[in-house]
Amino acid sequence: MKITIALIGNQNAGKTTLFNQLTGSRQHVGNFPGVTVEKKSGTLKNFYNHGFQVHAREGQAVLGEEIHSDKLIEIPHGLEVELVDLPGIYSLSPYTPEERVTRDFLIHEKPDAVINILDATNIERNLYLSLQLMEMQIPMVMALNMMDEVRKSGNSIDIERLSKDLHIDIVPIAANKAEGVSELAQRTITEALSKHKPQKIDFCSGPVHKAIHAVVHLIEQQSTSYDIPLRFAATKLVEGDTLMEDALSVTANQKEIIAHIVSEMETELDTDREAALADMRYEYISQICSASVIRHGDTQEQIRSVKIDSVLTHTYFAIPIFIGIMALIFWLTFGIIGSTLSGLFEQLIEFVTGIVDSGLGSYGMSAAVHSLIIDGAFAGVGSVLSFMPTILVLFFFLSLLEDSGYMARVAFVMDSLLRKMGLSGKSIVPMLIGFGCSVPAIMATRTLSSRRDKLLTIFITPFMSCSAKLPVYALFAQVFFPRHAPLVMIGLYAGGMVIAIVSALVLKSTVFKGKPVPFVMELPAYRLPAIKSMAIHIWEKARDFLQKAFTVIFAATIVIWFFQNFDTRLNLVTDASDSILSIIGSAIAPVFRPLGFTDWRLSTALITGLTAKEAVVSTLAVLFAGEGNLELALSAVLTAPSALAFLVFILLYMPCFAALAVTKREIGTRHAIAAALFQTITAWLAAAFVYFIANLIV
């Protein structure tokens, strides 16, 4: 038997942390059908869902059994519970895709129960969503998160009273410490199995009450036949929700009656429908809270946040501090921790390669297979794998910034600047993640509320040099600019940012014209991220990376090895310049003549770089393997200016297939192709310019 539970709450209420606690790493990430809103689901950990009893009430059906008198029913082993993480939203209005997805999921998918997670330190605004959820008539449990912070500060919430007033089961939890999580899971399963719907749905009073009840009578029949919760439908119609009108096929006659009811209410209250309903809900919430919430002052976390912000969002210090923090992270990642770990990892790979190499030698394996394994697979995958620790360290820091609440401040501080580029402060988050990897960066554009912002951000985010390009820079800087390696690296990163800004300015005033979207964002209190959530996040990245290394990159290295070792008649070649790869590479090589590099192996590496940018290095390693030392071989085919042009092209040209696939998913095929073309043309122009200038200087 399987039941589905939906997890819903405001942004910053701790939803992801709770989701991770409940499901561990058994998560599945996908999209809601038809829209690019991420849908995350997972199976509830086993120990939460057996070994307890459900209190069944008279007149209900539990597990298919009619209950004639109250009794306890044992939860059977093997009950499968799927948890669906719905987007973080503040209301069920029909404006953002997230809100619509949540509504549709609740109405059409009908989960067996809902966990509504609330930030207890900010309970009033969080309850606003709860009141709308209760109208949905789905069994529901409230998880009052961060109750530890409320108690510690001497404030209190009378949970029993609140639960009685709302007729909803409430469980206090501290998701980051896993407190109360097990009880929450069991109580939710109980509610789901006993199909106990929220009892109280009448929050209204006065004219709003009158209007809602009049509409309830009017649409009763349609609500049943279209299977939409009656009370929710009526409230939304009073609010003027056109999507609900369509969903219920409200007739012109009914529309007229509703308009009349609403205008009567508006006259009586001297306000409009939307304000009237928002006001009514908040009014009801303060009434409820005045009986159960005692708030002497802010929690320690909120007071601490204001103090931290007096420095981090300070008029003069904010931007220097932000630049300082980013510089520190890059220095730690690429200079200290990452390179040490990568060095160790590299030694390990070399060690394993050595063993396999000598093993194959003494076994007497045929030369072709020996070469396939060592020069193809081990050289290709190994060079990519050695870079994994650096990427994970970068992700660790970026998720620390995100989960602690600092990213929201960065958006606040940078908004004014980014708006000049036609973006909003929120675009800074994907752009920063872009320094790690374009794939999660492009996915992070989902938090942007306007399509124009999203398109513009996706077009320029790949210019933020992703960490996979770093081994290419490192190799070339070492060969051509041994004394100025750090300068070249910094120059490339800065160059990417400059190109991004210029592109944004150009695109903003040509292709993507339009008004800036509103910037309405909550600044959550600073909190230490939960170790477990961070660990799961890092593990997901590591898994993705390993998967990529052993599938896409592995396949690419094998294919390239094959193309390199065989000619068009599938004979083994003795000279690499007779190979299939040489023919392909030579065919496109003339395109790069104005950039100063003509060797077919370099243009070939650019092609294989599309599988993953790390593959540029592995391809060069494989292709130049016949010439002995790779570094010497490179300096034979490139000069300092053409090496620089090559690096600039690598920095800017279209991202890898993985990033392209995500781009296509986010903005459609047409725009994804446009973005790739735009980036590649920009790369060619910039590289040609750099080659020209560098030749003047040298």
Residues binding other proteins (CB under 8 A): 90-91, 93, 95-96, 121-122, 124-125, 128, 271, 274-275, 278-279, 282, 286, 290, 295-298, 302-303, 305-307, 309-310, 313-316, 318-319, 412-413, 415-417, 419, 425, 516, 518-524
586: CB partners within 8 A, 6+ apart? 600, 603
Nearer to other proteins, 99 or 191 (CB): 99
Choice between 13 and 175, CB closer to other proteins = 13
Nearer to other proteins among residue 277 and residue 658 (C-beta) = 277
Which DSSP category does 589 fall into? G
Amino acid at 631: E
Q: Which is nearer to other proteins, 516 or 529 (CB)?
A: 516
DSSP letters of 449-474?
Answer: S-HHHHHHHHHHGGGS--GGGHHHHH
Closer to other proteins by Cβ: residue 216 or 521: 521
Burial class (CB in 10 A: 0-12, 13-18, 19+), 552: middle
Question: Minimum Å distance from CB 315 to other proteins?
Answer: 5
Cβ atoms of 143 and 173 closer than 8 Å: yes
Return the structure tokens found at 521: 């964002």
Minimum Å gap between C-beta 515 and other proteins is: 10
Shortest CB 180 distance to other proteins, Å: 22
Tell me how far, at minimum, the Cβ of 451 lies from other proteins, in Å: 13
The angle that helices 531-548 and 15-23 make with each other, rounded to 10 degrees, is 70
CB of 512 to other proteins, least distance (A): 19
Residues pairing with 365 in the sheet: none
Q: Provide, rounded to whole angstroms, the least separation between the CB of residue 271 and other proteins.
A: 7
What minimum distance in Å lies between the beta carbon of 198 and other proteins? Answer: 20
> CA–CA separation, 226 vs 214, rounded Å?
19
Handedness of CA 641, 644, 648, 650 (dihedral sign): positive
Shortest distance (Å) from residue 522 CB to other proteins? 6
Instruction: Select 124 or 268, whichever has its Cβ closest to other proteins.
Output: 124
Long-range contacts of 206-212 (CB under 8 A, 24+ apart): 206/268, 206/269, 207/264, 207/265, 207/268, 207/269, 207/276, 208/238, 208/265, 208/269, 208/276, 208/277, 208/280, 210/265, 211/238, 211/261, 211/262, 211/264, 211/265, 212/238
Distance in Å, CB of 295 to other proteins, minimum: 6
Nearer to other proteins, 489 or 504 (CB): 504
Closest to 493 measured CA to CA, from 473, 516, 520, 518: 473
Task: Work out how close the CB of 78 gets to other proteins at its nearest, in angstroms, rounded to a whole number.
Answer: 42
> Measured from the CB atom, is 456 or 658 closer to other proteins?
456
Query: 275 vs 490, which CB is nearer to other proteins?
Result: 275
- Cα–Cα dist 308/348, whole Å: 43
Q: Which long-range contacts link 528-532 to residues 24+ away (Cβ below 8 Å)? A: 528/176, 528/404, 529/176, 529/399, 529/400, 529/403, 529/404, 530/17, 530/20, 530/175, 530/176, 530/177, 530/403, 532/17, 532/20, 532/21, 532/178
Least distance from other proteins to the Cβ atom of residue 277, Å:
8
What's the min distance (Å) between Cβ of 285 and other proteins? 9
Half-sphere exposure of 49 (CA within 13 A, CB side): 24
Helix H or strand E encompassing 31: strand 27-31
Of 33 and 518, CB closest to other proteins: 518
| 27-49 burial: b if 16+ Cβ within 10 Å, else e | beeeebeeebbebbbbbbbeebb
CA–CA distance, 231 with 268 (Å, rounded to integer)? 22
Structure tokens that stand for 259 in this block: 């308009």
Going 337 to 343 to 344 to 349, the CA torsion angle's sign is positive
Nearest residue (CB) to other proteins, 164 versus 295 = 295
Q: What is the closest distance, in whole angstroms, from the C-beta atom of residue 507 to other proteins in the complex?
A: 21
Nearer to other proteins, 524 or 596 (CB): 524
Pairing of strands 169-172, 140-145: parallel
**Closer Cβ to other proteins, 93 or 386, answer by number:** 93
Contact assessment for residue 173 and residue 144, using Cβ atoms and an 8 Å cutoff: yes
Q: Please say which residue, 45 or 125, places its beta carbon nearer to other proteins.
A: 125
Rounded least distance, CB 666 to other proteins, Å:
21
- On the CB side of 212, CA atoms within 13 Å amount to 22
Q: Which two tokens stand for residue 122?
A: 């900010």
CB atoms within 10 A of CB 357: 15
Rounded to a whole number, what is the distance in angstroms from the first to the last CA of the chain?
Answer: 73
Ramachandran sector of residue 180 (left: φ over 0; alpha: ψ -120 to 50; beta: rest): left
CB of 435 to other proteins, least distance (A): 22
Name the residue nearer to other proteins (CB basis): 213 or 295.
295
* C-alpha closest to that of 214 among 154, 176, 263: 263
